[in-house]
Amino acid sequence: MITEAKLEEMINQAKTSTKQRKFKQSIEMIIVFKDIDVKKGFALNEVVQLPKTSSPATVCIMATGDMGQKAKEAKADAVVGSEELDRFAANKRASRKFINKYDFFLADTQIMPVVGKVLGQLLGPRGKMPTPVPFNASVESFLQRFRSSIKVRSRASLAMSCKIGDESMENADLAINAHAVLSAVEKKLPSGEKNLKRVIIKTTMGKPVKQIEEVRKKNA
């Protein structure tokens, strides 16, 4: 697998070659796969915790009672109870707007059946079905984990892309995140590292930087 040092070199090239914009650009990593038959149902849908973060992911917790109160005390980005879910059942437009607003959803196990019935058809295709939170679990710990995580998703495709940070972060920290994602993805591939064809790094509006070794080989 490509090393952190090589990833850092690619990240540096991507950042220095892009034009300065009026907004903070994301740093994106694209992974291209090989020797995988996508027709056999190959899919990735993993939550990967990033070691370094600059802006936390948004997390909504669906819960009532004691867990709902703990979620509010832990300062979840939103806490949704049974009444709100009932309103979403009658308003699909509001449901879509609500779902698109948050990166991750967590839910009290007692309320999961209701969530599935009301929002399952919208959450499922977006890869946002809630992660169940046991009644005795630490809500704060769950929040901390998901706020520093990203969703790595690919369905019937030989490529995937994800955000590993933004241009304000140190190159070394971005490389650590990129390596963490690569390691997580590799473990889910049928033949591990042998299924990795190419790694590409780019800023939001910048040109893609292919794996350094491939570029050098091409120019040799």
Residues across the chain: 220
Query: Does residue 156 share a domain with residue 209?
Result: yes
Average pLDDT over the chain reads 91
For residue 209, give its domain range.
4-54+148-219
Last residue of a domain, one of 146, 178, 209: 146
The full DSSP string for 44-64 is EEEEEE-SS-SSPPPEEEE--
pLDDT > 90? residue 213: no
pLDDT > 70? residue 218: no
By CB atoms closer than 10 A (0-12, 13-18, 19+), residue 187 is: exposed
Query: Does residue 137 share a domain with residue 175?
Result: no
Rg over alpha carbons for the chain, rounded to the nearest Å, is: 19
Last residue of a domain, one of 109, 124, 146: 146
Last residue of a domain, one of 110, 129, 146: 146
The pTM (predicted TM-score) of the whole model is 0.86
Query: Does residue 138 share a domain with residue 63?
Result: yes
Q: Is the dihedral of CA 5, 10, 16, 22 positive or negative?
A: negative
89-93, 94-98, 203-207, range with the lowest pLDDT = 89-93
pLDDT > 60? residue 188: yes
> How confident is the model over 14-33, as pLDDT tens digits?
999 988 898 999 999 999 99
Query: Does residue 141 share a domain with residue 68?
Result: yes
Residue pair 200/211 in contact (Cβ under 8 Å)? The answer is yes
Domain count, the chain: 2
pLDDT-based confidence at residue 73 (cuts at 50, 70, 90): very high
- The pLDDT of residue 169 is 96
CA-based end-to-end distance of the chain: 22
